[in-house]
Structure 1
């Protein structure tokens, strides 16, 4: 099978209501002229994850993020390295945040939370969630659960003394106060996301909203893993492997 066959199987998993938006937020960035027998998955396309793919003998990478435009020159360097190694690459960004097996719903499932509302809409795609526990839990227990799942330290701020029943979640970059505002308006006890800045913290304090901040990468990991596992189930002859990424983000918070 070739890379285009894999992409067709991926597209079959999504309810595509706007082809223009879907294609702008997902697709092949490089297609090697070779059959795909082994697929590697991770959150980010970087020179380091491409090297991981080479070490594992991967024919195609599937990631959540394309190389970031904000890292000037990275995209061109990645395409050059993919071509050198003969590795195809596909990414799926906002559609994976939106879908019911993607980044947000996968993390909620790991946290034993039940989604009750899709939030943070952009062009018909929803990159956030409101979710609830059947029974209230302690805030510190939720923090420990997050650290266990993400396998990294998380930052937390306690700005109310409530137990946790209702949670707002934006996997990845939910740092803008406009994102936190939706959790406030939905009467959440805590807001979870993968990035923060001064305004996030001060707005949470102003509104009495507890905060849990993991890393952008590992709050989103379970979504790309879910996609890879679906491919593994649907294409029996395809071998699927995880590509390791550094937990460097926690060192800069």
Structure 2
């Protein structure tokens, strides 16, 4: 696979119309172009010093992440780019379009938890950052907690605010701490709300709204959309070796 092939794949997969919505918001793109040919592709949620070094160690040609390196962390992005440039590694990130995609973060994690996607919410200028999932047989709160912890391979935070079995759940992976999103999940009949970050207002509003709140990490609630994306890439370009870049559970 050539870098040009990958560019065309991204346009075909996410569509020009969707990409145009976020064109001016720096929600996707290349931060470095390395070797023209891609023989080995690595993926992870975050672009950090650690993930870049893992990519180098594993001889990756193309690193795909959900997040770009955070520019407000003074000096970090420059240091990461130095590592990528020295090793001729191409880096591409895909943020809001992957949140919105029908195979993206929210849909992928719901399917792995055994829920069917029935609706979308959390609209950000025409891009939907959340999904509503429903399960055939309602599940006990603690069983859902256990299922999530097994999937994420990490403990989660939990607040049980009602005694109902859980049939419908609202999910906004990553930084879904907004009380507005919780309000919308309640309106859409959800028994629980699951996200990757929380603040005081998240907990307070969930308690007020009597909706169960489940909070994993930002990093590991968002890895499954990338997993789905690279599977699609591998179907089109089976000659490309795919590897998941290891990230630590630091949150």
Q: TM-score, normalised by structure 2?
A: 0.95
Distance 2:86 2:2 in 1: 18
State the SS of the aligned residue for 1:17. helix
| Residues 197, 215 of structure 2: 8 Å contact kept | yes
2:245 paired residue number: 243
The DSSP-based 3-state class of the residue aligned with 2:15 is coil
After TM superposition, list the pairs within 5 Å mapping 1:1-253 onto structure 2. Answer: 1-23=1-23, 24-249=26-251
Query: Alignment length, in residue pairs?
Result: 249
For 1:78, what is the secondary structure of its paired residue? helix
For the residue of structure 1 that corresponds to 2:220, the secondary structure is helix
Do the aligned partners of 1:16 and 1:22 also contact (CA within 8 Å) in 2? no
Structure 1 ranges of 4+ moved more than 6 A: none
Kept in 1, the 8 Å contact 2:60–2:89? The answer is: yes
Asked if structure 1 preserves the Cα contact closer than 8 Å seen for 2:56 and 2:87, the reply is: yes
Q: Deviations over 1:94-116 (max 9, x none)?
A: 11111111100000100111111
Contact 2:183 2:209 in 1 (8 A): no
* CA deviation string 1:90-149 (max 9, x = no partner): 011111111111100000100111111110111211000111111211011100000000
Structure 2: any 5+ residue segments left out of the alignment?
none
Q: Secondary structure at the match of 1:45?
A: coil
- Structure 1 residue 18, shift from structure 2 partner: 4.1
SS in 2 for 1:240: strand
Q: Distance in 2 between matches of 1:155 and 1:175?
A: 13
Q: Is the 8 A contact 1:171 1:193 kept in 2?
A: yes
Secondary structure of the corresponding residue to residue 17 of structure 2: coil
With 142-151 and 72-81 compared, the bigger mean Cα shift is at 72-81
Distance 1:99 1:60 in 2: 21
1:32 is paired with a residue whose SS is: coil
SS at match of 2:175: coil
Contact residue 42 and residue 242 of structure 1 kept, 8 A:
yes
Superposed CA deviations along residues 54-80 of structure 1, whole A, max 9, x for unmatched, are 110101101111112332322222212
Q: Structure 1 residue 86: deviation in Å?
A: 1.0
Structure 2 Cα separation of the partners of residues 21 and 204 of structure 1: 31
Label 1:193 to 1:14 Cα distance change in 2 as closer, same or farther (>3 A).
same
Query: More deviation in 180-189 or 134-143?
Result: 180-189
- Partners of 2:206 and 2:71 in 1: CA distance: 29
